């Protein structure tokens, strides 16, 4: 196991535009750390810089206690799994797995023992004499993973290794990779644009956007306490519902249709004219007769077997999604009275997108949305 530390980590290709803007993070030994964000956010670049495949423009990289800025990839004692697997088509599975060991001049007996162990762990024992073209996508992915495992490197880097697989196989491979990481005690840095992969695999995760860190933390902490509207809308499937609201006196006005009473103390602390309201789809409930609520009109229904996604308009142009357990037989344009508990409402600064302190305080808002 190996600790990885990035201090003011920066990358620029033209000395003017920064691809990575001063990243600071410590990845603990044995941790499964996920870099997640949209395409072009800099996550793969960061991984390649850690691997030594890209130069470091500024800041420091420490692998264990050793500064690694100018070490070659072979000197960094790590393994890497690429998105396209990078297998040699003319070599067998066994030869692909042991290729790195051959380069390191490991004895052949030791190579064979390590290869057999990795093959058994990943279900490749019956495919050792086959060429990559004779394997399925999932089997090729396992070969690439086995090749990384046999090096016995304490640090493993993975750059979107599951993106070429179908949905069912991806789900299975997520579980297998996580189990292998725990079994071997590897420190793993995993890059993905898929927030579902990030949520299900990570011990901790870093969300990047435009080369800047948006939030670092445990998956559930980030999901429940997003620091800004980008994180709130990026994490979750479906993502958090957001809408702008104006602050008028001690109330919030949503699209000139709903009035939400707000405490004066929070209004004074916020000092804002506009905010963004956020609520997770699972926190939108069907209102009972004795509960306050407001009426919306159903615009789409997706029944997924164990749950139903209901889309409705809120305001003139904004659509929200509610997620309810079970199978709901609802009609398009059917009116519904919905209810949102105040502790499930998040408030963000409409200008900066940052979350307002105390916005999920149970005394922050009254429960009733009053139709104007």
pLDDT in tens, 292-324: 677 889 999 999 999 999 999 886 678 999 999
Q: How far is CA 57 from CA 22, 36, 86, in A?
A: 10, 22, 27
More confident residue, 340 or 222: 222
Mean pLDDT of 152-157: 92
In whole angstroms, what is the distance from residue 255 CA to residue 315 CA? Answer: 5
Residue 270 has pLDDT above 60, yes or no: no
Q: What is the pLDDT of residue 369?
A: 52
Q: How far is CA 74 from CA 53, 77, 349, 364, in A?
A: 10, 7, 47, 56
8 Å CB contact between 272 and 247 = yes
Name the token pair of 232. Answer: 């709130």
Residue 229 has pLDDT above 90, yes or no: yes
Share of the chain above pLDDT 70, in %: 92
Q: How far is CA 178 from CA 72, 189, 201, in A?
A: 28, 12, 6
Mean pLDDT of 52-59: 94
Q: What is the pLDDT of residues 185-196, one digit of tens each?
A: 999 999 999 888
Share of the chain above pLDDT 90, in %: 51
Name the token pair of 75. Answer: 């000197």
| 3.30.70.980, 2.30.110.20, 1.10.3720.10, 2.40.50.140: CATH of 233-371 | 2.40.50.140
8 Å CB contact between 247 and 273 = yes
Q: What is the pLDDT of residues 346-358, one digit of tens each?
A: 888 888 899 886 5
In whole angstroms, what is the distance from residue 246 CA to residue 92 CA? Answer: 65
More confident residue, 90 or 291: 90
More confident residue, 116 or 249: 116
How big is the CA angle at 54 (ends 53 and 60), to the nearest 5 degrees? 110
8 Å CB contact between 134 and 85 = no
* N-to-C CA span, the chain: 60
Name the token pair of 96. Answer: 């692909």
Mean pLDDT of 100-120: 87
- DSSP state, residue 134: G
| Per-residue three-class SS string for 161-198 | CCCCCCHHHHHHHHHHHHHHHHHHCCEEEEEECCHHHH
More confident residue, 54 or 268: 54
- Positions of CATH 2.40.50.140 in the chain: 233-371
Q: What is the pLDDT of residue 365?
A: 46
In whole angstroms, what is the distance from residue 230 CA to residue 225 CA? Answer: 12
Mean residue pLDDT of the chain comes to 87
Which residues, at least 6 apart from 288, have a Cβ–Cβ distance to it below 8 Å? 339
- Positions of CATH 3.40.50.300 in the chain: 4-230
Task: State residue 344 phi and psi, 5-degree precision.
Answer: -95, 0
In whole angstroms, what is the distance from residue 369 CA to residue 350 CA? Answer: 20
- Evaluate the omega torsion of the peptide bond into residue 192 and state whether it is cis, within 30 degrees of 0: no
pLDDT-based confidence at residue 171 (cuts at 50, 70, 90): confident
8 Å CB contact between 317 and 242 = no
Residue 371 has pLDDT above 70, yes or no: no
In this structure, which topology does domain 4-230 adopt according to CATH? Rossmann fold (3.40.50)
Mean pLDDT of 200-226: 95
Q: What is the pLDDT of residue 364?
A: 44
More confident residue, 151 or 367: 151
pLDDT-based confidence at residue 359 (cuts at 50, 70, 90): low
8 Å CB contact between 232 and 240 = yes
In whole angstroms, what is the distance from residue 330 CA to residue 336 CA? Answer: 10
Mean pLDDT of 14-24: 90
Torsion of CA 268, 274, 280, 281, to 10 degrees: 140
8 Å CB contact between 117 and 184 = no
Mean pLDDT of 1-12: 92
Q: What is the pLDDT of residue 49?
A: 95
Nearest Cα neighbor of 218 from 206, 230, 235 is 206
């Amino acid at each position: 196991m190996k600790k990885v530390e990035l201090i003011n980590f920066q990358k620029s290709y033209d000395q003017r535009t920064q691809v990575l803007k001063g990243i600071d993070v410590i990845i603990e030994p044995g941790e499964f750390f996920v870099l997640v964000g949209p395409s072009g956010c800099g996550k793969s670049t960061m991984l390649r810089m850690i691997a030594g495949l890209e130069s470091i423009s500024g800041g420091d990289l420490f692998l264990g206690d050793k500064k690694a800025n100018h070490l070659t990839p072979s000197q960094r004692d790590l393994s890497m799994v690429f998105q396209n697997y990078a297998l040699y088509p003319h070599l067998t599975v066994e030869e692909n797995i042991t290729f790195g060991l051959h380069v390191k001049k490991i004895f052949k007996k030791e190579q064979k023992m390590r290869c057999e162990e990795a093959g058994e762990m990943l279900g490749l024992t019956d495919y050792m004499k086959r060429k990559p073209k004779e394997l399925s996508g999932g089997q090729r992915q396992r070969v690439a993973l086995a090749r990384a495992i046999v090096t016995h490197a304490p640090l493993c880097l993975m750059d979107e290794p599951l993106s070429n697989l179908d949905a069912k196989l991806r789900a299975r491979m997520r579980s297998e990779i996580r189990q292998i990481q725990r079994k071997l005690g590897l420190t793993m840095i995993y890059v993905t644009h898929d927030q579902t992969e990030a949520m299900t695999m990570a011990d901790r995760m870093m969300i990047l956007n435009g080369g800047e860190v948006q939030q670092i933390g445990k998956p559930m902490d980030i999901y429940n306490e997003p620091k800004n509207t980008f994180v709130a809308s990026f994490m979750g499937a479906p993502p958090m519902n957001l809408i702008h609201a104006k602050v008028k006196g001690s109330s919030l006005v949503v699209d000139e249709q709903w009035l939400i009473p707000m405490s004066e103390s929070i209004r004074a602390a916020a000092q804002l004219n506009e905010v963004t309201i956020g609520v997770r789809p699972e926190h939108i409930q069907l209102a009972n007769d004795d509960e306050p609520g407001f009426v919306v009109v159903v615009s789409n229904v997706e029944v997924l077997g164990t749950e139903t996604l209901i889309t409705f308009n809120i305001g003139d142009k904004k659509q929200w999604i509610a997620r309810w357990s079970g199978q709901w037989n609802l009609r398009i344009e059917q009116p519904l009275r919905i209810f949102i508990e105040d502790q499930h409402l998040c408030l963000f600064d409409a200008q900066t997108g940052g979350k307002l302190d105390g916005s999920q305080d149970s005394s922050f808002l009254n429960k009733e949305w009053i139709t104007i």
